[in-house]
Amino acid sequence: MSRRIAASLLLALAIVATAPPRRAAAAESAAGAVTRTKLANGMTVLVRENPTAPVVAISLMLRMGTRWETRQNAGISNFLQLMVVRGTTLRDGTQIVSVADRMGGSIDAYADADYAEIPATALSRYWGEMLDLVAEIALKPSIPDGTTQAVRDFLARQIRNRADKPYDAAFDSLMARTYGDNPYAWDPLGLKESLERMDRAALLAHYRRHYVPGAMVLAVSGKVKSAELVARAEGLFGALPAASAPAPNATPAPAPASARAVLTVPGAQAQILMGGLAPSLTDPDLAAMKVASTILGGGLSSRFFSELRDKQGLAYTTAAREPMRVGAGYFLALLGTAPANKEKAEAALREQLERIQRQAVSGEELRVAKASLLGSLAMDRRTNARQAWYMASLEVAGVGHEFLDRYVAQVRAVTAADVQRAAQRYLATVRTVVAEPAQ
């Protein structure tokens, strides 16, 4: 689910229902739990009181990202986010940065596959002023023509640069083949041909479509009182007319297929990527496949590291990745090797994918993988910024902030048979992309 990785601790999320006036039912609880309030116009506000740290993290998240795009406007969500933070009707981008800095914090905006976010942090005594600034950026963006052109040129350079990087080029090629016309096929940066067509009018139309209460989730974690924050949020956002979130692009991905492609990209290494579709956020096999991915390439104790790098000496770098996605996710096995070893390394990587399908993993591998997976999740939730991100992103995804409690329980319940079944379901048919330097 996110591009940004930071550290964090697991904590329990207790829910107690109440019914404040003029609002839908909210969940009220002790410090450390989450209060959920639905404003009258449909906007959701989540608050986690954390009095132990004198900081507050804010995440204003939208149901807007590549999942709502098509090939004709690929990249418009991230483009729009870069624009809203670069100026409002009250101040320019430099002033926005300066104001946030004076509050001992920062503010940004970007879009990813399943969401777009305006994240901000500040010292707790400035939480109200920082929330005002977030609202100003969200509700009063200026999107001037001159800045639009400069940002479009910047994004075009980033897209060109990806084509010259072996891993990025191979990854983009694999995703394009795996997803076809499904919007997960492209990076949030977008596509060159669609980006060139975007202008201020297109950005404004996208803004009006997505910056509506039904598409917005405000999540706050830190030293703040829930009732005070909800009242201020209602004052800032409550006047927005009610409107529902737009429907995402539901174009299905093509059926999995065994295929191989070779790219010539500048560099000293050969990058070998194998992958295909993986479980969505709500698929019953999500936990089992995440454990399988961890066993294969989840760190120094993984099979890829011990077998391909340490024992066979075939890999400079190797890993397995499987991000959580609202729609069908992807599994990725990657290996960087010397060009002279690429055939042997590719065969060895494929053998590891076949081995986990035909042989049950050991009890020790299962135990270590679960501990690693849950430990990483715990560490990633340690800061207020990540707590706010998790609350907002899971609400936007439609599973609620309580999802992680269920997910942790599912990981703990995974058996060796579950891992083998999930591997057989998702790893039997994979696509391969090799990016190698010119001979």
Helix/strand/coil (H, E, C) string of 210-262?
HCCHHHEEEEEEECCCHHHHHHHHHHHHCCCCCCCCCCCCCCCCCCCCCEEEE
Q: What is the per-residue pLDDT for 439?
A: 79
Single-letter code of the amino acid located at 230: V
- What average pLDDT does range 55-73 have in this prediction? 98
Answer whether 185's CB lies under 8 Å from 90's CB: no
CA distances from 81 to 111, 113, 119, 147, 203 (A): 6, 13, 11, 13, 10
pLDDT at 425 over 50: yes
List every span in the chain annotated with CATH 3.30.830.10. 17-237, 259-436
Q: Which two tokens stand for residue 272?
A: 């070998």
Helix (H) or strand (E) holding 337: strand 329-337
Q: What proportion of the chain, given as a percentage, has pLDDT over 70? A: 93
Which pLDDT score, from 0 to 100, does residue 30 have? 44
Helices (H), 64-144: 76-84, 93-102, 127-139
What are the backbone dihedrals phi and psi of residue 216, each rounded to the nearest 5 degrees, phi first?
-105, 140
Identify the helix (H) or strand (E) that includes residue 168: helix 166-179
As a whole number, mean pLDDT of residues 278-294 equals: 98
Q: pLDDT at position 59, please?
A: 98
Q: Is the per-residue pLDDT at 136 higher than 60?
A: yes
| Number of Cβ atoms within 10 Å of the Cβ of 365 | 19
Beta bridge partners of 321: 332
Query: In the predicted model, what is the mean pLDDT of residues 309-322?
Result: 96
Residue pointed to by tokens 């981008």: 93
The tokens describing 418, both together, are 């579950």
Fold of 17-237: Cytochrome Bc1 Complex; Chain A, domain 1 (3.30.830)
Has residue 16 got a pLDDT over 60? Answer: no
Per-residue model confidence as pLDDT tens digits over 377-388:
999 999 999 999
DSSP codes of every residue in 2-59: -S----B--------EE--TTS--EE--STTSEEEEE-TTS-EEEEEE-TTSSEEEEE
State mean pLDDT over 219-242: 98
At residue 13, the pLDDT reads 29
Report pLDDT digits (tens) over 402-420: 999 999 999 999 999 999 9
| pLDDT score of 19 more than 60 | no
Pair 67, 401: CB distance under 8 Å = no
- Per-residue confidence band for 53, with pLDDT thresholds at 50, 70 and 90: confident
- Mean pLDDT, rounded, of the chain: 93
Whether the predicted pLDDT of 31 surpasses 60: no
Angle at 409 between CA 406 and CA 414, to 5 degrees: 125
Would the CA dihedral through 27, 56, 119, 8 be positive or negative?
negative
Q: Does domain 259-436 have CATH number 3.30.830.10?
A: yes
Q: Are 67 and 112 in contact (CB under 8 A)?
A: no
Q: What is the pLDDT of residue 12?
A: 29
Residue recorded with tokens 């996208």 = 206
Q: Where are the alpha helices (DSSP H) in 221-362?
A: 226-237, 286-297, 303, 342-358
In the predicted model, is pLDDT for residue 122 greater than 60? Answer: yes
Bridge partners, residue 329, by sequence? 278
Residues 92 and 119: beta-carbon distance below 8 Å: no
pLDDT at 1 over 70: no
Q: With bands split at pLDDT 50, 70 and 90, how would you rate the model's confidence at 28?
A: very low
The enclosing H or E element of 159 equals helix 145-163
